Amino acid sequence: MRVTIDSSRCQGTGFCAQLAPVLFAAGAGGEASRVLVETLPTALLPVALEAEMLCPAGAITVIEQGDH
C-alpha cells in the first residue's frame, strides 16, 4: 500500500503532518504537504486512513496494492 497527496488539491494546512509526522511533512509557507514514505507500512495504515478521511481538501489517498 502507499499514500499520496494531490498537490493541486492540498491547501497546505499541515494538518496531516501534525496527525502523522512519520508519514507527512508540511510544506513551507502554505505549499503542499509531502509524503515521507514510498510504501505504507501496515502498522501505519490506521493513521493514514484517518488522515485521508480528515484532510480538509480531500487531497490524501491511500492506495491498496493492485489499485491504479
pLDDT in tens, 22-65: 999 999 888 999 999 989 999 999 999 999 999 999 999 999 87
Spell out the domains of the chain, with CATH numbers in brackets: 2-63 (3.30.70.20)
Euclidean distance between the first and the last CA atom of the chain, given in angstroms as a whole number: 11
pLDDT tier at 67, thresholds 50, 70, 90 = low
pLDDT at position 65, please? 76
- Asked if 12 contacts 33 with a C-beta cutoff of 8 angstroms, the reply is yes
What lies within 8 Å, CB to CB, of 56 at 6+ separation is 11, 13, 15
pLDDT tier at 12, thresholds 50, 70, 90 = very high
**pLDDT tops 60 at residue 68:** no
